[in-house]
Amino acid sequence: MVIAIILICAYLLGSIPSGLWIGKIFYKTDIREHGSGNLGATNSFRTLGKKAGIAVTIIDILKGTAATLLPFIPYFSDSAVHPLILGGIAVFGHMFPIFAGFRGGKAVATSGGVLLGYSWPFFIVLILAFIIALKISKMVSFSSMVAAVVGLIYSIVNMIINHDYALFILIVLLASFIFYRHRANIKRIREGTEPKVKWL
């Protein structure tokens, strides 16, 4: 019973559609009807502005972190569920949220939040990779995929050194999700039509 509850909690945390709720509550705007139609941070920046984009990014990161840290809550401490499984479920919830008709974001920020909860040095490495790529390319989508590749390389090295197979498996899944969810962006990057950020 406890295992079922912790798995459901992880999914519900991931399902929190911060971009949708912030848009509707504070801006009277449904971001699904604007820009890319995506519920993630990038479309929140584009549609609602910098403050809303930052808020959505932080919330999307923290919901992944919260799901990963669920086993540290006394009630769930005996569940024996690996934190990365819960993190992966939260990412799934972010992409297919029950609170938003199963139409969610592209999993980048929430994936980062999972890694923040599991290994903060790893999270820092990915943030630096993302920022450097964004500074050079001005494309959030490209930077997200660069961070995914860096994460994959890091997880391979970590697996060899520390035998952390769970992290490697999760990163392979997350990187696959990120590239799959960005397939339209990849096409636009190739065509030279991918939007670039103006606030950096």
pLDDT at 46: 85
Q: Hey, which of 31-35, 77-81, 135-139 has the most confident mean pLDDT?
A: 135-139
pLDDT at 181: 86
CA atoms within 13 A on the CB side of 115: 26
Instruction: Please write the tens of the pLDDT for every residue from 69-108.
Output: 999 998 888 888 999 999 999 999 999 999 998 988 888 8
Q: Which residue has the tokens 């952390």?
A: 164
C-alpha distance from residue 189 to each of 105, 134, 177, 185 (Å):
19, 14, 18, 6
Share of the chain above pLDDT 90, in %: 74
Q: Evaluate whether residue 180 is within a structural domain.
A: yes
Q: Evaluate whether residue 167 is within a structural domain.
A: yes
**pTM of the predicted protein model:** 0.89
Q: ∠ at Cα 115 (112, 117), nearest 5°? A: 115
Share of the chain above pLDDT 70, in %: 99
Q: Evaluate whether residue 197 is within a structural domain.
A: no
The range of the structural domain enclosing residue 46 comes to 2-191
- d(CA 160, CA 154) in angstroms, rounded, equals 10
Q: What integer is the mean pLDDT of 157-161?
A: 96
Q: What integer is the mean pLDDT of 51-62?
A: 94
Q: Evaluate whether residue 133 is within a structural domain.
A: yes
| Cα diameter, the chain | 52
Q: Evaluate whether residue 129 is within a structural domain.
A: yes
Q: Which residue has the tokens 């990120």?
A: 178
Q: Evaluate whether residue 80 is within a structural domain.
A: yes
pLDDT at 199: 63
Phi/psi at 101 (5° precision)? 65, 25
How many domains does one find in the chain? 1
Q: Evaluate whether residue 198 is within a structural domain.
A: no
